[in-house]
Structure 1
Amino acid sequence: MGSAGLARLHGLFAAYKPPGLKWMHLRDTVELQLLKGLNAGRRPSPEQRVRFLLSPTEGSEEKALTLVATSVPTLTNHPLVRGPAFTSLKVGVGHRLDAQASGVLVLGVGHGRSLLTDMYDAHLTKDYTVRGLLGKATDDFCEDGRLVEKTTYDHVTREKLDRILAVIQGSHQKALVMYSNVDLKTQEAYEMAMRGLIRPMNKSPMLITGIRCLHFAPPEFLLEVQCMHETQKQLRKLVHEIGLELKTTAVCSQVRRTRDGFFTLDDALLRTQWDLHSIQDAIRAAAPRVAAELEKNLSPGLDTQQLPSAGRPWDSQGPSSALGLEGCTGH
Structure 2
Amino acid sequence: MAAEKASRLLSLNGLFPVYKPPGVTSAQALNDLKSRLLREAGLKEFKKRKKQTLKIGHGGTLDSSASGLLVVGIGDGTKMLGAMLTGSKKYTTTGQLGRATDTLDASGTVTQEKPYDHITREDMENALKTFTGNILQVPPLFSALKKNGKRLSCLVREGAEVEAKPARPVVVHKLSLTDFQPPLFTLDVECGGGFYVRSLIRDIGEALSSCASVNDLIRTKQGPFVLDESTLRAERWDIEHVAQALQTHALPAEQESKRLKTQEDGAAPDQS
Query: Does 2:23 match 1:20?
Result: yes
CA shift, 1:2, in A, is 3.8
* 2:69 alignment partner, one of 95, 98, 104: 104
* 2:247 alignment partner, one of 267, 276, 284: 284
* 1:131 alignment partner, one of 94, 98, 103: 94
Matches within 5 A, 1:9-88: 9-39=12-42, 88=53
Q: Which TM-score applies when normalising by structure 1?
A: 0.59
Paired position in structure 2 for 1:238? 200
CA shift, 1:275, in A, is 0.9
* 2:118 alignment partner, one of 142, 155, 174: 155
Over the aligned positions, Cα root-mean-square deviation in angstroms equals 2.5
- CA distance 1:138–1:119, change in 2 (3 Å): closer
Paired position in structure 1 for 2:235? 272
Give CA deviations for 1:171-222 in whole Å, capped at 9, x if unaligned.
549xxxxxxxxxxxxxxxxxxxxxxxxxxxxxx6321111111111111001
Query: Does 2:184 match 1:220?
Result: yes
**Partner AA of 1:260 in structure 2:** Q
**Partner AA of 1:29 in structure 2:** D
Residue aligned with 1:239, SS: helix
- CA distance 1:129–1:97, change in 2 (3 Å): same
Residue aligned with 2:96, SS: strand
CA contact (8 A) 1:258 1:264 kept: yes
Paired position in structure 2 for 1:70? none
- CA distance 1:142–1:86, change in 2 (3 Å): closer
Paired position in structure 2 for 1:300? none
Aligned-partner Cα distance in 1 for 2:208–2:107: 22
Give CA deviations for 1:123-156 in whole Å, capped at 9, x if unaligned.
3110011210012222332234222222222221
Give CA deviations for 1:3-25 in whole Å, capped at 9, x if unaligned.
65136521111111111111122
- CA distance 1:170–1:36, change in 2 (3 Å): closer
- CA distance 1:89–1:271, change in 2 (3 Å): same
- CA distance 1:285–1:166, change in 2 (3 Å): same
**Partner AA of 2:19 in structure 1:** Y
- CA distance 1:161–1:93, change in 2 (3 Å): same
Gaps in structure 2 of 5+ consecutive residues: 47-52, 137-167, 257-272
Aligned-partner Cα distance in 1 for 2:107–2:7: 48
- CA distance 1:219–1:4, change in 2 (3 Å): same
- CA distance 1:217–1:35, change in 2 (3 Å): same
Residue aligned with 1:95, SS: coil
Aligned-partner Cα distance in 2 for 1:171–1:107: 28
CA shift, 1:164, in A, is 0.8
CA contact (8 A) 2:55 2:75 kept: yes
Q: Which TM-score applies when normalising by structure 2?
A: 0.71
Residue aligned with 2:118, SS: coil
The structure with the largest alpha-carbon Rg is 1
Give CA deviations for 1:66-105 in whole Å, capped at 9, x if unaligned.
xxxxxxxxxxxxxxxxxx5887312111111131222111
Aligned-partner Cα distance in 1 for 2:251–2:170: 30
Aligned-partner Cα distance in 1 for 2:248–2:242: 10
Q: What is the count of residue pairs matched by the alignment?
A: 215
* 2:223 alignment partner, one of 261, 272, 291: 261
Aligned-partner Cα distance in 1 for 2:247–2:10: 11
Q: Percent identity, please.
A: 33
Aligned-partner Cα distance in 2 for 1:152–1:86: 53
- CA distance 1:289–1:214, change in 2 (3 Å): farther
Query: Does 2:171 match 1:207?
Result: yes
